[in-house]
Amino acid sequence: MALIEPYFDTTLTLSTVQILKAFFILSFGLLAVQLLKNILKKLTDRTNFPEIMETFVVDLFSILLYSYVILITLENLGLKTSSVLIGISAVIGLVLGLGMQDTITNLMAGTWVSITRPIDKEELVNIATMTGKVLEVSIMSTRLITEDGLTITIPNKVVWGSPITNYSRLGIRRADLDIEISYKNDLNDVVEKTLELVKKEADVLKEPAPDVIVSKLTRFSINIQVRFWIKAENHYDLKAEIASKITKLYKNEKIEIAKGTSV
């Protein structure tokens, strides 16, 4: 008795009709899967599905349907699908045994990232020391684009297993400007004029209110910190713009910066 059942029925001779039938099943099956994939995408577009969850569901649905079409095609060619499934199980066991657990881990991590949504498309995030806007969360990896146009692909197991800083989720961010001024200045006057300038900025939020505090006293300088809240998408540009305006203000008002420092 054979210990392993052969995948193909050795008594079967493939006919032209059978091959053509399998070809048409494969062709129409692939077209049907593509059609169903498009329908599912349109349905999810009409709901409040998060985009990353939509991508994940559509991709997973497609993989399952493509696998089903291939199994039906092979069955029409005389391949015993029960044997195929046993073979697939053996291959999966071999893959896992060869240290390919990362594939399954990434898939599971991608599922949890899509469900819990610690990040979303277009959000600015920091993951495992890497910062960028979220381009895509697929079933295996997450892609970010950095401020200087680099694309970073991060395995989902790293995303799920790392601290995630989401700079966009609340919609607003606090900007901090650290300035070291000389002891020769009138501190109250510096604070008053700096705060007045910041409050006049139209894009700076009134609540929480801007503030200027003394953050540190050193031998050669008084360190102040200018704090103000702005919309998250304006953070870097507006912060740089206000820093430039403070620099001009200090020059015009003869406010002395501590030696070796700058605004």
Burial label for 248, CB within 10 Å (0-12, 13-18, 19+), is exposed
Check: CB of residue 135 under 8 Å from CB of residue 146.
Answer: no
Residue 241 lies in a domain: yes
Cβ atoms 164, 119 nearer than 8 A: yes
CATH number at 243 reads 3.30.70.100
- Domain end position, chosen among 126, 148, 166: 166
What's the confidence (pLDDT) of residue 38?
A: 80
Asked, for residue 187, whether it belongs to a domain, the answer is yes
Residue at 108 is within a domain: no
The answer as to whether 212 is a domain residue is: yes
Does the reported pTM lie above 0.75?
no
Domain assignment present for 37:
yes
pLDDT mean for each 10 residues of the chain (263 residues):
46 67 81 81 69 68 76 72 56 52 77 86 93 89 93 94 93 96 95 96 94 94 96 92 96 88 56
Residue 259 lies in a domain: no
If asked whether residues 161 and 176 sit together in one domain, one would say no
Q: How far apart are CA 157 and CA 154, in angstroms?
A: 8
Same domain, 75 and 133: no
| The predicted structure's pLDDT at residue 91 | 54
Give a yes or no: residue 6 inside a domain: no
Torsion sign over Cα 195, 197, 200, 202: negative
Q: Are residues 40 and 89 in the same domain?
A: yes
How many domains does the chain fold into? 3
Amino acid at 112: W
Residue 147 and residue 75 share a domain? no
Give residue 1's pLDDT.
43
In this predicted structure, what is the pLDDT of residue 8? 46
Q: At what angle do helices 235-252 and 187-200 cross, to 10 degrees?
A: 140
Q: Among 110, 145, 166, which residue terminates a domain? A: 166
Query: What's the chain's length in residues?
Result: 263
Task: Quote the domain boundaries for residue 184.
Answer: 172-252
For residue 140, is it within any domain? Answer: yes
Distance, in Å, from the CA atom of 144 to the CA atom of 158, rounded to the nearest integer, reads: 13
**DSSP string of the chain, one letter each residue:** --SS--SB-TT----HHHHHHHHHHHHHHHHHHHHHHHHHHHHHHHTT--HHHHHHHHHHHHHHHHHHHHHHHHHHTTB-HHHHHHHHHHHHHHHHHTT-HHHHHHHHHHHHHHHH-SS-TT-EEEETTEEEEEEEE-SSEEEEE-TTS-EEEEEHHHHHHS-EEESSTTSEEEEEEEEEE-TTS-HHHHHHHHHHHHHH-TTS-SSSPPEEEEEEE-SS-EEEEEEEEEEGGGHHHHHHHHHHHHHHHHHHTTPPBPTT---
* pLDDT for residue 246: 96
Residue at which a domain ends, from 132, 149, 166: 166
The 3-class SS string of 96-159 reads: HHCCCHHHHHHHHHHHHHHHHCCCCCCCEEEECCEEEEEEEECCCEEEEECCCCCEEEEEHHHH
pLDDT value at residue 3: 45
